[in-house]
Structure 1
Amino acid sequence: MEAVITDAKRTIFARENGLLKDCLPEDLAAPLIRHLSRNTPEDIDEVLIGNATGRGGNLARLSALAAGLPLSVSGTTIDRQCGSGLDAVRVACHFVKAGAGSTYIAGGAESSSRSPFSSRARFSPEHIGDPDMGIAAEYTAQAYGVTRKMQDEYALLSYERSVKAHEDGLYRREILPCHGFAADENMLKKRNMEPLISRAKPVFQSGGSVTAANSCGISDGAAAVCVMEEQKARSLGLKPGLRFIGSAVSGVHPHYPSAAPVYAVKICVFSQQLRVPYSKINVRGGALAVGHPYGASGAALVTRLFYEAKRRPDARYAAAAIGSGGGVGLALLFEVLT
């Protein structure tokens, strides 16, 4: 059995307490589920949705019902913090390969604006250390020699790529307009980021290197993909964009969660060293400019790869990787289908 991605969509990403502030997580996930299952609603085996700051309960089942899927379609909610949406896609792919089912909707949804929690969950026991993500980013930068200059240079590159992708209309293909919005909130106002990045002050540690300008913002949004058994997809006349090859999960010290994806990718691609040039990483920008809706971000990575694969028929493989609180990294490797 081979698992393939046949379709992918996301909502716009909005700032916390911004354009999507009135939407609950299920309000964000349901339109995507409805769209992705529009041709085969009776064939969906299960809906898997990642979420990190929701109100509890089974968000995936709630979202499936809100989307109008048959009552027979079950749902599973996954919490791997920032890796939740990517893990939902991972689980769906492995389900298909194992023959547990043939069609899944998998992704993530996050409404930071509607979170009932005043503080975050614990990532690690106190005797090990449980730093907030901003402080953990400082620890990682210090441990791995990532300077302020390096962070600022990459932040500017990422912003420029995101702005260009938005202006070229590339984001429009991956966004499903819903709730009256069709463009990422941060992309609606073009700004000269270079002076903002260079002048920003450290926000997490005195004398540190992590600033509001070289960090991703807290956001609301959702993303999801349709994972299907390849022969079934082709029998339905669908043209898959990505074929799942494998996945890997890694754990590192909770002080260094940003480093965790590196080790996961190394495992996934069976490489001893990971040396990927900037020219091949987040080529259309990413969370620094567009936003980071925790549980949805990993599914958004796969969505971006799905559409990028259509633009890059020369590419052979694509990888999505993400790190999360507690020092966990997750990576998925795909073959590009042309």
Structure 2
Amino acid sequence: MKRAVIVKAKRTPIGKKGGILRDFQPHELAAPLLKHLANGLEDEIKDTILGNVVGPGGNVARVSALEAELPLTVPGITIDRQCSAGLEAIRMACYLVQGGAGNCYLAGGVESTSTSPFPARARFAPDKIGDPDMGIAAENVAEKYSISKEAQDQYALLSYTRSWESYHHGYFNEEIIPIGDYDKDEIFFKKRKMEELLIRAKPVFKMNGTVTAANSCGIHDGASAVLIMEENEALKNGLKPVLRFVDSQVSGVHPNYPGAAPIPAIQELLIRNKLKVADIELFEINEAFSSKVLACSKELSIPTSKLNSCGGALTIGHPYGASGSIMVTRLFYEVQRRHNLESNYVVAAIGSGGGIGLAVLFEIVKQN
């Protein structure tokens, strides 16, 4: 079987809805990434696969490829698995490489909530099953897994601290391609007094609930993409494989508990590959809500030292269809920064509206 590897990864800065990226359409966010990642390999690109959730419709990936001035032979396909879409795009490209469909793909996701034409969210499930808004669903998860407001606030503060520390260390500089005049995430324009915000924040989704605006992510714009190649082709082109695709798992749970959907996906993925949590160097689990991350950590016994080590969406933002690719991009750079790797594997996982969990296992390619 051919082996799929990630050799390049980039993202845009992340902006708040109506913020620094408000004037950029989805294809205008994605195109600079595609152009950068494809540089020198334009004629090798087999396809561009992008996740998108609240965009203008049509084939955003094709429009982005054309905007990036890639060869007209690069077709483009846009997929929607809600918040899992960006990670699904990467997963799909890896399987296409494994199956011999092509040797070189661009994959990721893009979201412009600021320019979305939709006044309300899409349906996640039929009413007869339950179709809660994500805030209520986060409350459901908190209640089911006995996660207190205090625990959620503590994790939100940890994420905030890690994000700012990573920013000050310059870690995100490696990830980002500037868009317009912006070369850093909007959150880092001004530091907040997070401890005070967490204390003041009241439940917003449920009377006497535990989920607040301070322990939840906001609504954001942004894009991210990676270059995936067949490993021998990458080496022939002088490119360094960093993450090697191993396996993936998609699982479904009740739509009332989408934040818990990564739990069975990660469990099945580890069991099938005869791995334990201790065998994984890093986990990136999307931080849509503190309750979601804590439920996964609690049920899978993932120590916080292995989990979202540079912070995540609670602070930096969650541009729906791009978030899965942002997590992979973070892993791409983080494993290169670490000189004393204790394990050979990393996992990216995300839950989506409708009760879908997706987890992807990568092997860290050791450099000679």
Whether these two folds match at TM > 0.5 is yes
TM-superposed deviation, 1:171: 0.4
Match of 1:334 in 2: 362
Match of 1:117 in 2: 118
Match of 1:203 in 2: 204
Q: AA paired with 2:352?
A: S
Structure 2 Cα separation of the partners of residues 221 and 20 of structure 1: 8
Match of 1:324 in 2: 352
Match of 1:296 in 2: 322
TM-superposed deviation, 1:337: 1.2
Match of 2:290 in 1: none
Deviations 1:158-216 (A, max 9, x none): 00000000011000000011211100001111122111112210111111000000001
- Percent of residue pairs bearing the same amino acid type: 56
In the superposition, the TM-score normalised over structure 1's length comes to 0.99
Structure 2 Cα separation of the partners of residues 88 and 226 of structure 1: 11
Q: AA paired with 2:308?
A: N
Deviations 1:306-327 (A, max 9, x none): 0011012414111000000000
Within a 5 Å distance, the mapping from 1:45-60 to structure 2 comes to: 45-60=46-61
Structure 2 Cα separation of the partners of residues 162 and 84 of structure 1: 23
Structure 1 Cα separation of the partners of residues 147 and 229 of structure 2: 40
Matched, 1:305 2:331: yes
TM-superposed deviation, 1:285: 0.4
Structure 1 Cα separation of the partners of residues 149 and 66 of structure 2: 47
Larger deviation: 228-237 or 264-273? 264-273
Match of 2:305 in 1: 279
Q: AA paired with 2:359?
A: A
Deviations 1:49-83 (A, max 9, x none): 00000111001111000000000111110100100
Across the aligned residues of Structure 1 and Structure 2, the Cα RMSD in angstroms comes to: 1.0
Matched, 1:216 2:214: no
Please give the secondary structure, in 1, of the residue aligned with 2:322: helix
TM-superposed deviation, 1:147: 1.0
TM-superposed deviation, 1:274: 2.1
Larger deviation: 194-203 or 152-161? 194-203
Aligned residues: 338
Q: AA paired with 1:317?
A: Y
TM-superposed deviation, 1:3: 0.3
Structure 1 Cα separation of the partners of residues 79 and 147 of structure 2: 32
Matched, 1:81 2:82: yes
Stretches of structure 1 that go unaligned for 5 or more consecutive residues are none
Structure 2 Cα separation of the partners of residues 237 and 255 of structure 1: 48
Structure 1 Cα separation of the partners of residues 229 and 160 of structure 2: 34
Q: AA paired with 1:331?
A: A
TM-superposed deviation, 1:150: 1.0
Deviations 1:126-146 (A, max 9, x none): 000100000000011101111
Structure 1 Cα separation of the partners of residues 193 and 166 of structure 2: 16
Q: AA paired with 1:335?
A: E
Deviations 1:269-314 (A, max 9, x none): 1168722100110000000000000000000000000001101241
Q: AA paired with 1:285?
A: G
Structure 2 Cα separation of the partners of residues 305 and 256 of structure 1: 26
Match of 2:165 in 1: 164
Please give the secondary structure, in 2, of the residue aligned with 1:221: strand
Q: AA paired with 2:306?
A: K
Matched, 1:251 2:252: yes
Structure 1 Cα separation of the partners of residues 99 and 14 of structure 2: 33
Structure 2 Cα separation of the partners of residues 132 and 231 of structure 1: 45
Match of 2:12 in 1: 11
Q: AA paired with 1:22?
A: D
Q: AA paired with 2:322?
A: A
Match of 2:288 in 1: none
Structure 2 Cα separation of the partners of residues 32 and 141 of structure 1: 37
Q: AA paired with 1:235?
A: K
Structure 2 Cα separation of the partners of residues 267 and 64 of structure 1: 35
Please give the secondary structure, in 2, of the residue aligned with 1:255: coil
In the superposition, the TM-score normalised over structure 2's length comes to 0.91
Stretches of structure 2 that go unaligned for 5 or more consecutive residues are 277-298
Matched, 1:226 2:227: yes
